[in-house]
Structure 1
């Protein structure tokens, strides 16, 4: 799916009524389903599936995204009609109680059976209150704090209509060039497994029906982090022993923690794309582990089996995916467009469709959506449980615990509360990049830059001076890519030499220099692999110039990968 990782060198890295018995009644004028609180799950779901048309069944297997505007998510008209026709089972990228209630009302009040939607979102390291990226959290080794951060993220997300997060990402990766390394625990299987379990428990709590939890999704299944050369979406070729020993355990940890959903990855594993890989989805997930939830693809990854050369067209790709065990198609519209035709041609069976639908409805049942489809549309919670002082303090505490001090020559740290401190670097007075990639509904304008933080903390005790010193990058091609992905990075009107000279002058007036260098948020994350994991060259030049002044230097690195 389509970070606040700070390293110091200091390395700072929701109406249904109730029927009089457990059976489904005849449809009322709106065709709604009524459910007793003491309804038996398996009977309820079987009876419901038996009432559904083929088109309605396939609809439950479709996940579409809402559109976006500058003020947040909006709703595409064709998706509205699809929801009204019962052709959509879940929506992602729609949040706030107003938006999700609007969509849910259509699904519940205007469709024949009134089956509620699920609402998914990439809540990776916080929803409104942003925590350090998972890679940074892993540096704390504090599983209680890690679980708490996921618990807070779930509470905030569920207060805005979300009931499903596409997290945790539990891919082990041993190549820091890979952009998505920021979303996981890094290279260690043991730590990755412990952290995977903690985050699932945090997101899901001990009871879905509480209304302040979300269904977690273990991703990307599997071996996505082992992409050749660290290139995102690339192939993976490895022995089964290595796969089971190194890359599979965090997913098993998610399974053991009760995770509700799994997401297939983009990559192929030994020549077989994950979304068409029965070994992964049936042999291991269903047979060996007895997984009872549902499997969703990553964004259009069924379609991408054509790119892999594994299917001749989308229709065949959909057949392969269903045979392999994929229950829900994210955004690719393959199931939406072709599954009914494949059924009529006997390329797939109604039993396969029914099984997938039962898996999906089972999670909706456990969420309590058949009792109260609007339970996650609580406007009171939306205004009282988001970015609370306690949540913000928890994020600060997690950040403190994530800090790794790499070196402290000549006892430069801790800094003295006297004299003059120079803050230098393109990220020293930056708010946007502080919250990192995959920052959900986080508002970067509410973040505090390092420069402002120093001023707030030290007040009048210390004189703070500042120079930018360099651009984040001088590479215009890279700059365009970063801004195409939602960045707002510019090149200063001053020349690189002028910026450095200004910084050297500022450093000369200081007792100690704190340099804030590293990556913008877009330099890590999806489709953000790098060939060079060093600090950008222009920033290196700045660092060398400041070091040459002889002033004590504290280097603060902001990055989504080891540098």
Structure 2
């Protein structure tokens, strides 16, 4: 079921009392988490605690560079440290499950979700996958500051044709095993507790209903015993994919293929018991899926410690050393593509003779976009823009700022202002890029 702010749902409490909910996501404060958890543990028949998940992609309250940026550090230890900070902050709010890391290999820069992964190289993808899992899960999964990792999207999602998100993929088994599966395998070897199946179709069969990958490879070859959770509405989308005419058929095909938990579509909630009674789904298969879910909850220590200490939540955020780590990660992520010569010397580092600077571009003074896509609980108010930083460093009298253009389009007046600023300065700095909410991430 859709959960969290903005969905308009008001029946969570009743469903939890009836034991109809096993996990919730988009609940983001310890107080909210505890309110629902008390109902599950104290008022439901079986007293099984809930598992709370969230898209913790590159930080929770402290924001780090986007995953593609972190990958450019080529430093798994640094990435592990960033994931550890994210785990400490998220767990202080009761979040014990991160829908991360995204380990899809991506080789078409038109695909907006490339921003969430490590790029095109399987070896680097393996290193990053392991680093995230170690950082999120820590040395002991039942530690109060550990969260379950969820590598996604299994599998081939990053090969979407034409870079169009959700598009179909055609991948030979050789290419699948050589390039697309290794980062997932690395995450599982590192101990990832859960895994998310993809929206997309792989070789004509939706990934969330494909026994070959979900059962033959993941379960039988790799021995994975954790939760397989569908991506958002992936099971409901089996109908428009064309392999099911109704919700019951979609639920049956996804479940028998190997998906343990249905995110949002509510098809298991609505149909699975009936499918067991009709004999279309073996009761033993349901028992095994339940066992996998309980195994993760037990491993997280939720039965012994289901509640979150609300008094520690605020103090866990934005530690001085966490913010310093974010700065280090940002510095290490920078990629210098070219350093052209100006006269007899390269342009960088800038010469001491440069006194006046023009700062031009839509990202020069944009707090919100500095957070990147999937910014978790990051807040624009925390951001120091490039304009603010340069003002502090060289003084506002030496800085000429002009927006120059919008992300898409602009006016002649904006361009004239930018040209004038550049002409009146020793050095011009352009701050260009994408609109994080519309041009990168999901559906971009």
Residue 381 of structure 1: how far off its partner (Å)? 2.6
2:30–2:92 CA contact under 8 A, matched in 1: yes
Residue 401 of structure 1: how far off its partner (Å)? 0.4
1:218–1:251 CA contact under 8 A, matched in 2: yes
Report the Cα distance in structure 2 between the residues aligned to 1:106 and 1:309, rounded to whole angstroms.
39
Report whether the alignment pairs 1:398 with 2:335.
no
1:65–1:93 CA contact under 8 A, matched in 2: no
Q: What's 2:134 paired with?
A: 201
Q: Residue 423 of structure 1: SS of its match in structure 2? A: strand
TM-score between both structures, scaled by the size of structure 1:
0.76
Show CA shifts across 1:346-390 (max 9, x none).
11121111110000000000111111111xx12233122210110
2:251–2:267 CA contact under 8 A, matched in 1: yes
Show CA shifts across 1:200-254 (max 9, x none).
1111011011110100001000010011111111111121001000000000000
Report the Cα distance in structure 1 between the residues aligned to 2:362 and 2:128, rounded to whole angstroms.
32
TM-score between both structures, scaled by the size of structure 2:
0.96
Aligned with 1:507 (options 396, 399, 422): 422
Q: What's 1:427 paired with?
A: 363
Q: Residue 220 of structure 1: SS of its match in structure 2? A: coil
Q: What's 2:440 paired with?
A: 524
Superposition pairs for residues 135-146 of structure 1, below 5 Å? 135-146=68-79
List alignment gaps of at least 5 residues for structure 1: 1-63, 475-494, 529-563
Superposition pairs for residues 61-460 of structure 1, below 5 Å? 64-68=1-5, 76-374=9-307, 377-410=308-341, 411-416=346-351, 419-459=355-395
Q: What's 1:471 paired with?
A: 406
Report the Cα distance in structure 1 between the residues aligned to 2:418 and 2:400, rounded to whole angstroms.
10
Q: Residue 165 of structure 2: SS of its match in structure 1? A: coil
Residues matched between the structures, number = 438
Residue 112 of structure 1: how far off its partner (Å)? 1.2
Q: Residue 217 of structure 1: SS of its match in structure 2? A: coil
Q: Residue 428 of structure 2: SS of its match in structure 1? A: strand
Q: What's 1:7 paired with?
A: none
Report the Cα distance in structure 2 between the residues aligned to 1:103 and 1:243, rounded to whole angstroms.
41
Between 161-170 and 446-455, the greater mean CA deviation after superposition: 446-455
Q: Residue 263 of structure 1: SS of its match in structure 2? A: strand
Residue 165 of structure 1: how far off its partner (Å)? 0.3
Between 201-210 and 338-347, the greater mean CA deviation after superposition: 338-347
Q: Residue 234 of structure 1: SS of its match in structure 2? A: coil
Show CA shifts across 1:154-174 (max 9, x none).
111001110000000000011
Residue 457 of structure 1: how far off its partner (Å)? 2.8
Q: Residue 357 of structure 2: SS of its match in structure 1? A: strand
Which structure has more relative contact order (CA 8 Å, sep 6+)? It is 1
1:65–1:94 CA contact under 8 A, matched in 2: no
Show CA shifts across 1:279-313 (max 9, x none).
11111111101111110000010111111111111
List alignment gaps of at least 5 residues for structure 2: none
Q: What's 1:559 paired with?
A: none
RMSD: 1.3
Q: Residue 236 of structure 1: SS of its match in structure 2? A: coil
Report the Cα distance in structure 1 between the residues aligned to 2:83 and 2:8, rounded to whole angstroms.
28
Larger Rg: 1
2:16–2:39 CA contact under 8 A, matched in 1: yes
Report the Cα distance in structure 2 between the residues aligned to 1:381 and 1:144, rounded to whole angstroms.
27
Moved over 2 A (4+): 64-67, 415-418, 456-460
Residue 268 of structure 1: how far off its partner (Å)? 1.1
Report the Cα distance in structure 1 between the residues aligned to 2:41 and 2:137, rounded to whole angstroms.
24
